[in-house]
Amino acid sequence: MHKEQRIRKNPTLGSNIRKIRNDRDLTQEQLAARLQLYGSEISRSILSQIECGTYNVRAADLVLMSKILKVEIAAFFEGLGP
């Protein structure tokens, strides 16, 4: 059985995603729509929760976000402490 890997809720991770998204001049709706084109189930509402740090993001969705936003995955984790 395949178990999805999720990254634990984290407000810093979410704010990093929001900052990068805003730097790319994308709305939550636009990013969610692009994610869905690649097969993600993330809606605008779920993306909002991820950015607020109240929703566990799937590792696969972070990979898609990095491709869409054209950043290394490490950029999402900047400033996260141990």
pTM recorded for the entire structure: 0.86
Contact in structure between 56 and 8 (CB atoms under 8 Å): yes
pLDDT score recorded for residue 10: 72
The three-class DSSP label of residue 53 is coil
Token pair 């950029």 is at which residue? 75
pLDDT tens-digit profile of 64-82? 999 999 999 999 999 887 6
3-state SS assignment for residue 39:
coil
Query: CB neighbours of 49 closer than 8 A, spacing ≥ 6?
Result: 55
- Residue 35 near residue 26, CB atoms below 8 Å: no
Domain 6-77 carries which CATH code?
Answer: 1.10.260.40
Instruction: Return the domain boundaries, the chain.
Output: 6-77
In contact, 54 and 17? CB cutoff 8 Å: no
